[in-house]
A and B are shown apart, each in its own frame.
Chain A
Amino acid sequence: AQKVTQAQTEISVVEKEDVTLDCVYETRDTTYYLFWYKQPPSGELVFLIRRNSFDEQNEISGRYSWNFQKSTSSFNFTITASQVVDSAVYFCALSEGGDSSYKLIFGSGTRLLVRP
């Protein structure tokens, strides 16, 4: 069965620290997509990144980077030099290629608090 686990419920860091948010997924499909979304205090989910199961290249976008490892079924997200504006709940999500709706299966989220 498909599942996404974000074991870290809450992380608190001081500004400028690096922080990694963990995501572990389960799926039987060979084709699938992984996503990260940010939910700031305003509540709206903001799309950050999508990876497909055939592309294990790590990706960097500014202070954000993502490490996708199929061998460990993980898709971790690192914020370098964190800022107060990074404070939010971050969700990892999975959609499966065998599911024609491509609905998202979300983890329970990690609340990140960046203190000044």
Chain B
Amino acid sequence: DTGVSQDPRHKITKRGQNVTFRCDPISEHNRLYWYRQTLGQGPEFLTYFQNEAQLEKSRLLSDRFSAERPKGSFSTLEIQRTEQGDSAMYLCASSKTQDGDPQYFGPGTRLTVT
């Protein structure tokens, strides 16, 4: 079984630039989640997809952030006009559809905004 993959693994960008991250979930998983993790903290929920529908967004997800899952398979997370406070690890996870199914995480994309 192929796990969750994320690309790129690392991204360094200058403040004000736009960045886009990709997540490929486990193939039979319908649910897809994005989380953000800063140093010394647990991951925080950003947004959730059931198939191609984005069903929930955290208040953490400002209007500079947008996520898509166009065909219910891979997902992208875009950050526009990056700020230094956006520096973090961005984690993608996927799960099956049953309530409480465990989420399996990808390796993350570490974003550094200079």
Contact = CB atoms under 8 A, between A and B. Distances in A.
Interface of A: 4, 31, 33, 35, 37, 42-47, 50, 52, 91, 93, 95, 97, 100-109
7 contacts: A47-B104, A91-B43, A95-B100, A102-B95, A104-B93, A105-B45, A108-B40
A103 B45 contact: yes
Given A4-B42, A43-B89, A43-B110, 8 more contacts: A45-B105, A46-B105, A91-B43, A101-B56, A102-B31, A106-B43, A108-B41, A109-B42
A31 B98 CA distance: 14
B55 A101 contact: yes
Contacts, number: 65
B33 interface: yes
A10 B48 CA distance: 31
Contact of A106 (B40, B44, B107): B44
A53 B107 CA distance: 29
B70 to A, nearest CB: 20
Main secondary structure of the interface of B (DSSP, over half): strand
Contact of B100 (A50, A106, A109): A50
Interface of B: 31, 33, 35, 40-45, 48, 55-56, 89, 91, 93, 95, 99-108, 110
Nearest to B56: A101
A52 to B, nearest CB: 6
A45 B91 contact: yes
B42 A91 contact: yes
B43 A104 contact: yes
Q: Which 10 pairs of residues, A with B, have the shortest CB-CB distance?
A: A106-B42, A33-B100, A45-B105, A101-B48, A103-B45, A101-B56, A44-B107, A47-B102, A50-B102, A91-B42
A4 B89 CA distance: 21
A66 B92 CA distance: 26
